[in-house]
Chains A and B, each alone.
Chain A
Amino acid sequence: DGGITQSPKYLFRKEGQNVTLSCEQNLNHDAMYWYRQDPGQGLRLIYYSQIVNDFQKGDIAEGYSVSREKKESFPLTVTSAQKNPTAFYLCASTPDRPSSYNEQFFGPGTRLTVL
C-alpha cells in the first residue's frame, strides 16, 4: 500500500537535545511538507519542499531544519533552539506542484514530548 510513514509515533527527548523526525513516502510525490499541530491553533507550516535538494521556510521555521536528499524522504530536525518543541508533528505530500489541483496526503504524525 502506498502512503506516508512517520516514525516513531511517540518520541521523548530531554531539553537541549536535537531530535530528528522521520517522514517517508512511497507515493512518488514531488512536494513534501512539515506541519506542527497544537490544540486550538490548527496546522502551522514549518517547512516545505517542492523538489529534491530544495526547501522553503514556512510560517514557523525558527528552531527547525530539514533536508531533502531523496524524493521519498523529508526528515525534520527539532533543534535545541526551538523554544517550545512539545507538539504533534505532521508530514504531508502532494503529487505535483500544489497549483495543479492537488490535495495533500498526510502521515499519521509523531507526538514529540520534551522533558
Chain B
Amino acid sequence: AQSVSQHNHHVILSEAASLELGCNYSYGGTVNLFWYVQYPGQHLQLLLKYFSGDPLVKGIKGFEAEFIKSKFSFNLRKPSVQWSDTAEYFCAVNLNTGNQFYFGTGTSLTVIP
C-alpha cells in the first residue's frame, strides 16, 4: 500500500532553534510533494511544494524542503523557529498520474518562547 511516514509525532523546541521534520514516502513513480501547516484554529494551508526541477524548494515563512529521490524523502527545515511556528505539519504526496493525495500522520510542533 502507498504510504507517507512522518516519524516525528511531537517536537518541542525553543525559539531560535533549528527545525527538521522528516517525511518519507513509499511510491516508486514520479511524485508531487507538499508540506501543509495547520495553525491552531486555522485552515490547513500550503507551506511549499515540489513538482520538478531544483530539489531544494523554498516556501513561506522561511521554510524550505529538500527532495532526495534516492531516499524517498522530503524533509522540512527552518534554520530558526519562532513561537508563531507552533502548529501541526503534514507531509503529502500526489502521484503524477493519480488523483489522490496521501498524507502523513502529522507532526505537532511546539515552540517555547
State in angstroms the CA–CA spacing of A42 and B90 once bound together.
7
A40 within 8 A of B: yes
Contact with A along B28-64 (1 / 0, CB 8 A): 0000101010000011111001010000000000000
B105: contacting residue among A40, A92, A99, CB under 8 A: A40
A15: chain B residues at CB < 8 Å are none
Give the bracket for the number of chain A residues in contact with chain B.
20 to 34
B6: chain A residues at CB < 8 Å are 42
B32: contacting residue among A41, A42, A101, CB under 8 A: A101
**Closest Cβ–Cβ distance, residue B108 to chain A (whole Å):** 9
Jot down 25 A-B pairs with beta carbons below 8 A, ordered by A: A40-B9, A40-B105, A40-B106, A41-B105, A42-B4, A42-B6, A43-B90, A43-B103, A50-B99, A58-B100, A98-B98, A98-B99, A98-B100, A98-B101, A99-B96, A99-B98, A101-B32, A101-B51, A103-B34, A103-B46, A104-B46, A104-B92, A106-B36, A106-B45, A108-B43
